[in-house]
Amino acid sequence: MAKILVVDDEKNMRWAIERSLKPLGYEIFQAEDGQVGLEQALTIRPDLVLLDMKMPGMDGISFLSALKQKEAGIIVIMITAHGSTATAVEAMKLGAYDYINKPFDIEELKLVIAKALEVGDLKSKVQRLENEISDRYSFHNIIGKSEAMQKIYHLIEQVVDTSANILVQGESGTGKELVARALHYAGERKRGPFIQVNCAALPESLLESELFGHEKGAFTGAVEQRQGRFERANGGTIFLDEIGEIAQHVQVKLLRVLQERSFERVGGQHTIKVDVRVIAATNRDLAKEMREGRFREDLFYRLNVIPFKMPSLRERKEDIPLLIEHFLHKYDKKGLIKSISTAANKVLVEYPWPGNIRELENTIERLAIVSPGPVLEVKDLPLELVNPQGSMPTANIVLPSEGINLEELEKDLLEQALHLAQGNKTRAAKLLGLTRHTLLYRLEKFGLK
């Protein structure tokens, strides 16, 4: 139910408006002058104010100015018998949604109110969405207390509002995109678009058109004019992910955009100027790529104005317990996993995580789905974490002078593997470095199940 405040010094006018609007389901409040109306507005915070322009004491313009300074989101419709272009323009400049002249048609007033409330509701939804996105991608949501991450936080705070080009380097899964989004949504460009381009996912033949757009007929299949990503990012940020993958001829055109903030669409003659902040990211060593001639030196230095080096997860092991807690909260919606045993926690911290945070997140998501109990034990962890490939210990057995029974030793090892794997033959085979087929053959040989 929308709340409407009617501020008018004419009692009959207030009564007539309330009588007409109340049957529509609106909650109506009345104020006989501007000062009382302003106090009511700041107390009840109505969705809409119907405001008389000419009143003794505080007039409509003064009321509007004072209200908008404190509650800019409240919709105001001016009502006046003294309407003029000058007063209407002044009211609109101060933030009035619309104005209507006395005497007015009540049906017209109803229509203006309905339309104003619809616009106000839409603006509120947009504002909530903007706030949710800003909160979601705030750099405060980047998890980590390690010294390496503290440096990242500090650098984000320093450069969040700069328009200088930024290059984020680091292994896959270290959070490069998260930093790019934090830089956009925490900065002054957050109301502008954030356009992402995965340069590695686009074929070389399409990348130039995707970045800069094309004119109709520029090439086979170009049946209409199309804006490129740079054009769509105007006023905001363009994030060029995997920048190290772009071809040399595209690098040349990209260099011009960075230098002049202008370009032509493919097949076009008209120069398009844009105001964009460029954030590029790569898991390659661009300095090495440059030395070996695969990446232009001038482009590298243009991109690398403000460098970010994202640490790998193995370089910030103290952050792993925090990340585990974060991902459990995210994926274990029912709270089934209450704690992690010391031994399991040690395995997770010591594992090298070649896929970095992305691999850790996927692992915790899987555990949240399949974990059987409230305490996460070593036996619940994926076998590749407990015994990483290439790190399986070798048996350091010294053959005694009297010899051994090799078959008994083999049988004993098979029984131990089955016990550790809790009867899971695939896991037992991995513990012994065997295929499942070979394990089944040997178990049958010794009559084991």
Given a contact cutoff of 8 angstroms between Cβ atoms, the answer to whether 239 and 177 are in contact is: yes
Identify the CATH assignment for 143-311 out of 3.40.50.850, 3.30.300.30, 3.30.2320.20, 3.40.50.300: 3.40.50.300
Give the distance from CA 17 to its chain's centroid.
Answer: 46
Confidence of residue 204 (pLDDT cuts 50, 70, 90): confident
Would you tell me how many other CB atoms lie within 10 Å of the CB of residue 209?
20
Q: Is the pLDDT higher at 6 or at 436?
A: 6
Q: What average pLDDT does range 304-313 have in this prediction?
A: 95
| Residues whose CB falls within 8 Å of the CB of residue 438, separated by 6 or more in sequence, listed in order | 429
pLDDT of 127 reads 67
pLDDT of 86 reads 75
| pLDDT over threshold 80, residue 138 | no
Q: Is the pLDDT higher at 441 or at 292?
A: 292
Q: What average pLDDT does range 349-353 have in this prediction?
A: 92
Domains 3-132 and 406-446 share a fold: no
Q: What average pLDDT does range 206-221 have in this prediction?
A: 86
pLDDT of 449 reads 74
pLDDT of 405 reads 82
Percent of the chain topping pLDDT 70: 93
List residues bridging with 262 in a β-sheet.
273
Structural domain boundaries in the chain: 3-132, 143-311, 314-386, 406-446
Q: What average pLDDT does range 282-302 have in this prediction?
A: 93
Which residue, among 152, 154, 182, has the nearest Cα to 169 in the 3D structure?
Answer: 152
- What digits encode the pLDDT tens for the residues 34-87? 999 999 999 999 999 999 988 888 988 999 999 998 888 899 999 887 666 677
Q: What average pLDDT does range 135-139 have in this prediction?
A: 56
Give the distance from CA 295 to its chain's centroid.
Answer: 29
Q: What average pLDDT does range 172-177 have in this prediction?
A: 92
pLDDT of 130 reads 58
| Pairwise CA distance, residues 403 & 412, whole Å | 16
| pLDDT over threshold 80, residue 388 | no
Q: Following DSSP, what letter does each residue of 344-394 receive, concatenated?
A: HHHHHHHS--TTHHHHHHHHHHHHHHH--SSEE-GGGS-HHHHS-TT-PPP
| pLDDT over threshold 80, residue 140 | no
Grouping H, G, I as helix, E, B as strand and the rest as coil, residue 99 is: strand
Confidence of residue 363 (pLDDT cuts 50, 70, 90): very high
pLDDT of 238 reads 96
Percent of the chain topping pLDDT 90: 50
- What digits encode the pLDDT tens for the residues 82-130? 666 677 778 888 899 988 888 888 998 999 999 999 988 888 777 676 5
H or E element that contains 167? strand 166-169
The highest-level CATH class for domain 314-386 is mainly alpha
Q: What average pLDDT does range 168-183 have in this prediction?
A: 93
H or E element that contains 241? strand 237-241
pLDDT of 112 reads 92
pLDDT of 139 reads 56
Which residue, among 375, 390, 397, has the nearest Cα to 433 in the 3D structure?
Answer: 390
pLDDT of 377 reads 87
Q: What is the mean pLDDT of the chain?
A: 87
- What digits encode the pLDDT tens for the residues 392-445? 555 566 677 777 888 888 888 888 888 777 788 888 888 888 888 888 888 888
pLDDT of 185 reads 87
Identify the CATH assignment for 406-446 out of 1.10.1060, 1.20.1050, 1.10.10, 2.60.120: 1.10.10
- What digits encode the pLDDT tens for the residues 234-256? 999 999 999 999 988 899 999 99
Query: Which pTM value belongs to this model?
Result: 0.64
Give the distance from CA 88 to its chain's centroid.
Answer: 42
pLDDT of 434 reads 83
Say which range, 15-29, 210-224, 319-333, has the weakest mean pLDDT: 210-224
Amino acid of residue 444: E
Q: Is the pLDDT higher at 161 or at 205?
A: 161
| pLDDT over threshold 80, residue 141 | no
Which residue, among 15, 9, 71, 14, has the nearest Cα to 34 in the 3D structure?
Answer: 9
Name the fold adopted by 3-132. Rossmann fold (3.40.50)
pLDDT of 47 reads 92
Say which range, 77-81, 329-333, 387-391, has the weakest mean pLDDT: 387-391
